[in-house]
Structure 1
Amino acid sequence: MTLPASALDQCLESFTAADGNHVKASTQKFDSTGVMALLCQHNRAIFLANMVTAGEKQFYAYTLIAALLHELPECWKVSLLYDVACALQQSLAKWQFMPGWLDRISFSVSIFHAYGHQWVCQLWYHPRKAELWGLSDGEGCERFWSELMRLIPCLRVSGVSILKWTCMY
């Protein structure tokens, strides 16, 4: 099923993180503008991607998914809860970016973010509509970031050399 373009556009407009023009950290002043994480269902980080552009561009999510699928047997299917999973799936279908991914991935939108989406998107992507999610809410990343918030002030103005030195100890 494909969502109407108008519904998809309204979903993307609902979230500032999905807006590539919304700049939270300057790429001229900072080496990194953020970190994107891929977590398992138990809210443990599996992969991290260092973001170096403004906004949560789709290629960061694709990179994390590619890293995960590379590690798993090809016969395994993956279920993905993501804030704008509707946009990821539609992009994969429209541009045929990664052949074979659509057969391996089941997309859903995390609970907290589902209500910011259009009604048709909620009907199709809400995790409570799929039996496999049980009571998982898909908000593990939000909890993960709240655990790491104390690191933000000291790392915010750190360049690559400071970050490398910090990670060594």
Structure 2
Amino acid sequence: MPNSTYSACGESFIAVDGDRVKASTQYFSDTGVLAMLCHHNIPLVIASMWTAGEKQFYACALLDFLFKHLPHCWRIGVLYDIGCQMDQSLKKWNFMPNWSPHLEWGISIFHAYGHQWTCQLWYHPRKSTIWGLSDGEGCERFWSGLH
């Protein structure tokens, strides 16, 4: 996929802007929560975010935890709102190269329509058989179910 597609997607989303402050570290020690859910929308890992802005290293930390607890031969599908950006970063910087053969990235279905057309063609969950009918919106349902 051309780099211009990744750049356009990166400019479209607040979550990709790591410098955007949603919660002040001056008043709060935790600025958010990130969760990883399985295919059945059951939380596997929940982690506190401690920096201002959503950083990619949080998602990497959750993936690292997951890979430590799964067989090395498994293929893992990751539906993430900015999955295209994570995929590009891991490839561009050759970060965690041992993960690459085991990962397939996608974009959660309701976020996919906000991405560039070419990005939708590559990362939309309905374009790959690995996802089945998963929509990748389990985290949103999880958060909305908490009281």
TM-score by length of 1: 0.84
Q: Distance in 1 between matches of 2:10 and 2:143?
A: 22
Task: Say whether the 8 Å CA contact 2:79–2:107 is kept in structure 1.
Answer: yes
- How large is the Cα RMSD of the aligned pairs? 1.0
SS in 2 for 1:83: coil
* Aligned equivalent of 2:131: 133
- The CA deviation at 1:24 is 1.4
More helix by share: 1
Pick the structure with greater CA Rg: 1
SS in 2 for 1:36: strand
Unpaired segments of 5 or more residues in structure 2?
none
* Aligned equivalent of 2:31: 33
* Aligned equivalent of 2:40: 42
Q: Percent identity?
A: 60
* Aligned equivalent of 1:160: none
Q: Runs ≥4 in structure 1, deviation > 3 angstroms? A: none
Q: 1:64 aligns with which of 62, 76, 79?
A: 62
SS in 2 for 1:11: helix
Deviations 1:113-154 (A, max 9, x none): 000110110000000001121211000011111112x3xxxx
* Aligned equivalent of 2:71: 73
Deviations 1:11-58 (A, max 9, x none): 122221221122111011100000000000111110112101122210
- The CA deviation at 1:5 is 2.1
Amino acid at match of 1:103: P
Q: Distance in 1 between matches of 2:60 and 2:124?
A: 21
Task: Say whether the 8 Å CA contact 2:112–2:120 is kept in structure 1.
Answer: yes
User: What is the aligned length?
Assistant: 147
Q: Distance in 2 between matches of 1:99 and 1:22?
A: 28
Q: Distance in 1 between matches of 2:137 and 2:59?
A: 16
Unpaired segments of 5 or more residues in structure 1?
151-169
SS in 1 for 2:10: helix
* Aligned equivalent of 2:113: 115
Q: Distance in 2 between matches of 1:56 and 1:18?
A: 7
SS in 1 for 2:14: coil
Q: Distance in 2 between matches of 1:95 and 1:128?
A: 28
- The CA deviation at 1:95 is 0.7
* Aligned equivalent of 1:103: 101
* Aligned equivalent of 1:13: 11
SS in 2 for 1:106: strand
Amino acid at match of 1:7: T
Q: Distance in 2 between matches of 1:105 and 1:132?
A: 11
SS in 1 for 2:8: helix
